[in-house]
Amino acid sequence: MSDTTIRADAHLPRQGTAAGGARPVVEVAVGILLQPDGRFLLTSRPPGKVYAGYWEFPGGKLEPGESVAQALARELHEELGLRIEPASVSRWREQLVDYPHALVRLHFCRVTAWQGALQMREGQQAAWERLPVRVQPVLAGTLPVLQWLGEEAACDKPPT
């Protein structure tokens, strides 16, 4: 777990903070679908959703009783028509993000195998990207992943 909470759009008021109560944390499963050549899948947030048009890794909120892997498998199927096996999912990192609309804990998972052809079932767009990404704007809670992937790629390079 990263020990820093990202505060997105810090100038905007926070929803759900009335009466001084603790803000509930929304658990979110996020998939980093990696091709053998290093490309990864980004999708745009569908019209009508908060931060519509921003690019993110595919995924969504956990439903009651679901594990991260189960939620990810359900979301990838619902949103993109892809099937993944639990064995091809590995939990990677977590990040807490304080958005005006919600406080979310992102559970990032690496996914190396899937079945099916991409279907844009929610009117979103998809792009197989490598660093630096061409698509813009990228969601605040997605940016750290790009940094982590960049750090990994730098570590994998042989010394010059």
Question: Of 63 and 151, which CB lies nearer to ligand 8GT in the complex structure?
Answer: 63
- Of 10 and 159, nearer to ligand 8GT (C-beta) is 10
The C-alpha atoms of residue 78 and residue 35 are separated, in whole angstroms, by: 21
Smallest separation (angstroms) from ligand 8GT to the CB of 82 = 14
Binding site for ligand 8GT (CB under 6 A): 28, 30, 49-51, 56-61, 97, 99, 102, 104, 106, 139, 141-142
Calpha distance 52→50 (Å, rounded): 5
User: Who's near 155: CB < 8 A, 6+ residues apart?
Assistant: none
Q: Which is nearer to ligand 8GT, 25 or 153 (CB)?
A: 25
Nearer to ligand 8GT, 101 or 112 (CB): 101
Q: How far is the CB of 160 from ligand 8GT (least distance, A)?
A: 33
In degrees and rounded to multiples of 5, residue 89 shows phi and psi of -110, 125
Residues 111 and 69 sit within 8 Å (Cβ to Cβ) = no
Here the tokens at position 133 are 């990404």
Strand partners, 43: 56, 126
Let me know: does 55 contact 42? Beta carbons within 8 Å.
yes
Pair 59, 30: CB distance under 8 Å: yes
Q: From the CB of 80, what's the least distance to ligand 8GT, in Å?
A: 11
CB of 91 to ligand 8GT, least distance (A): 15
Minimal distance, residue 142 CB to ligand 8GT, in Å? 4
Pick the closer one to ligand 8GT by CB: 112 or 122: 122
